[in-house]
């Protein structure tokens, strides 16, 4: 790879741009990348992606890549849906911006809120808009505290999340996230955030323990945590129906049934984080339908607009809405919201995306091709580097291990996952390797069976090459 460090170390004034003779060098000089080893990036530089078409993206040299993660779990309709472009263009020409403060409203925002309430997996009352999944979850935290103040329970404020959960990167959402790298040296988590067990049966189940028995043990542990902390101090629990960035972890059988019974006994709200699962990914419109959740709030984003413009939404139940009314009357104002909450252009694009999901029966398509992805991934289960394959619908994961029988992971310093990601790129495939060398797949929902076969064939070649690398380095 090109060494960009010397170019990046120079002055970054406007005039110095002419000295930087490539997009990659200019990126290194001026940009801080999320979820990147910043030191390594100085030498490696970026993959500069310049355009997209269908399930493919293209770099600055014209090389095509299947995007096996739909960007970041989000470009559900692929990278070239003209109807979304046209919806954005019409909205820009009509009303390029307006806000919702002080009782203002734009027609697309009204229509989108109405539509989301109509298609919610359980009865919901109102919608609060923001710009990302992190902000939707952060808003949920604020509302949980506001709600309990409003109904006279000022001590009921602690919130439970799970180890390996991912709920975002704002201060509150990153605290809910149960991944060490998201906490370390950010001085997180904040006070009043608790974490309970990760529901990964393959990794954390005891020898001979069935999925149902594992689920019972985790529900019992949750109840012990609640009792130890005091149920009168626990306000809510956040849960992704299927855990995404923490490793594509499918809940074990009976898990949510048992967990929700615990929450109900102790009058604890459930917030469903549908940021990844929502809008068809799991084979239903909502992950809550796939796994039997009955939440009090629902956070959604990503596929809401097929990621073409930033938008997220938090759906809230009627009891929560009534508490908001009462408290805002007492205070004189509901003092929350973002400049871009319900942005009319974003709302218009999201509405068009929802129309496309319905018109093209995207859920039906996922049900048809999801088994192709799941069966194709499971063919790698016998590979020497693969510990477990898991998934549902059009989301899946392959977890790499050093020792299959012992389920022993590679050390982070071994860099095996990073090698695999680069070998995938060499074969025209973009995947995301999560913590613990978990290779995630979440392709655009428009992917065909033949394209899935092509994607997995490329992955198979990269996996074999990574195995050879690991053998040559003495790692296996």
The pLDDT confidence band at residue 443, using thresholds 50, 70 and 90, is: very high
Percentage, residues of the chain above pLDDT 90: 95
pLDDT, mean of residues 225-234: 98
Confidence (pLDDT) at 5 = 38
Q: How far apart are CA 442 and CA 281, in angstroms?
A: 8
Burial of 118 (0-12, 13-18, 19+ CB in 10 A): exposed
Confidence (pLDDT) at 259 = 98
pLDDT, mean of residues 323-333: 97
Confidence (pLDDT) at 2 = 42
CATH 3.40.640.10, the chain: domain bounds: 83-359
Token pair listed for 51: 């355009």
pLDDT, mean of residues 457-466: 98
Q: Which CATH fold would you assign to the domain 83-359?
A: 3.40.640
Residue 10 pLDDT more than 90? no
Q: How far apart are CA 43 and CA 397, in angstroms?
A: 29
- Mean pLDDT of the residues in the chain: 95
Percentage, residues of the chain above pLDDT 70: 96
Confidence (pLDDT) at 171 = 98
Q: With contact defined as beta carbons under 8 Å apart, do 461 and 66 qualify? A: no
The pLDDT confidence band at residue 245, using thresholds 50, 70 and 90, is: very high
Among the ranges given (13-17, 361-365, 433-437), the one the predictor scored with the smallest mean pLDDT: 13-17
Residue 18 pLDDT more than 70? no
Confidence (pLDDT) at 20 = 55
Token pair listed for 96: 């390029």
Give the CATH architecture of domain 47-80+362-472: Alpha-Beta Complex (3.90)
Residue 8 pLDDT more than 70? no
Confidence (pLDDT) at 16 = 44
The pLDDT confidence band at residue 414, using thresholds 50, 70 and 90, is: very high
- Name the CA radius of gyration of the chain, rounded: 23
The pLDDT confidence band at residue 14, using thresholds 50, 70 and 90, is: very low
pTM of the model: 0.94
3-state secondary structure of 331: helix
Q: How far apart are CA 288 and CA 53, in angstroms?
A: 31
pLDDT, mean of residues 355-379: 98
Residues 6 or more apart whose CB falls under 8 angstroms from that of 219 comprise 255, 258, 259, 261, 262
CATH 3.90.1150.10, the chain: domain bounds: 47-80+362-472
Q: How far apart are CA 167 and CA 273, in angstroms?
A: 7
């Amino acid at each position: 790879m090109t060494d960009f460090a010397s170019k990046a170390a120079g002055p970054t004034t406007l005039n110095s741009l002419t000295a930087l003779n490539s997009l990659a060098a200019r990126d290194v000089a001026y940009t801080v990348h999320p979820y990147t080893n910043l030191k390594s990036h100085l030498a490696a530089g970026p993959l500069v992606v310049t355009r997209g078409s269908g399930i493919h993206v293209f770099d600055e040299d014209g090389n095509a890549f299947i995007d096996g993660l739909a960007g970041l779990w989000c470009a559900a309709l692929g990278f070239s849906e003209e109807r979304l472009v046209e919806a954005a263009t019409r909205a820009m020409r009509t009303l390029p911006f307006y806000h919702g403060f002080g009782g203002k409203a734009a027609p697309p925002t009204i229509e989108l809120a109405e539509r989301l309430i109509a298609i919610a997996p359980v009865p919901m009352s109102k919608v609060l808009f923001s710009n990302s999944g992190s902000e939707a979850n952060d808003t949920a935290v604020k509302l949980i505290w506001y709600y309990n103040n409003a109904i006279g329970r000022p001590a009921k404020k602690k919130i439970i999340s799970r180890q390996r959960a991912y709920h975002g990167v704002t201060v509150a959402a990153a605290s809910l996230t149960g991944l060490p790298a998201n906490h370390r040296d950010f001085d997180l988590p904040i006070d009043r955030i608790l974490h309970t067990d990760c529901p990964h049966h393959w990794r954390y189940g005891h020898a001979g323990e069935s999925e149902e028995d594992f689920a019972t043990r985790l529900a019992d542990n949750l109840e012990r945590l609640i009792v130890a902390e005091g149920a009168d101090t626990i306000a809510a629990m956040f849960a992704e129906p299927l855990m995404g960035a923490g490793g594509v972890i499918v809940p074990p059988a009976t898990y949510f049934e048992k967990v929700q019974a615990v929450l109900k006994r102790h009058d604890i709200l459930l917030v469903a984080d549908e940021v990844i699962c929502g809008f068809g990914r799991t084979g239903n419109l909502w992950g809550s339908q796939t796994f039997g959740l009955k939440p009090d709030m629902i956070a959604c984003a990503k596929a809401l607009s097929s990621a073409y413009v930033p938008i997220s939404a938090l759906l809230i139940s009627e009891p929560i809405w009534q508490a908001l009314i009462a408290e805002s009357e007492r205070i004189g104002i509901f003092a929350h919201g973002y400049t871009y909450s319900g942005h009319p252009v974003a709302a218009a694009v999201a509405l068009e995306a929802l129309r496309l999901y319905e018109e093209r029966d995207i859920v039906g398509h996922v049900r048809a091709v999801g088994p192709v992805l799941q069966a194709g991934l499971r063919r790698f289960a016998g590979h020497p580097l693969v510990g477990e394959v898991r998934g549902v619908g059009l989301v899946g994961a392959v977890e790499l291990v050093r020792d299959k029988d012992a389920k022993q992971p590679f050390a982070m310093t071994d860099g095996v996952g990073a090698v695999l990601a680069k070998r995938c790129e060499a074969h025209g495939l973009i995947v995301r390797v999560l913590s613990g060398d978990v290779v995630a797949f979440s392709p655009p929902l428009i992917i065909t069976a033949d394209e899935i076969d092509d994607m997995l064939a490329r992955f198979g070649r990269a996996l074999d090459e990574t195995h050879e690398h690991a053998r040559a380095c003495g790692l296996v």
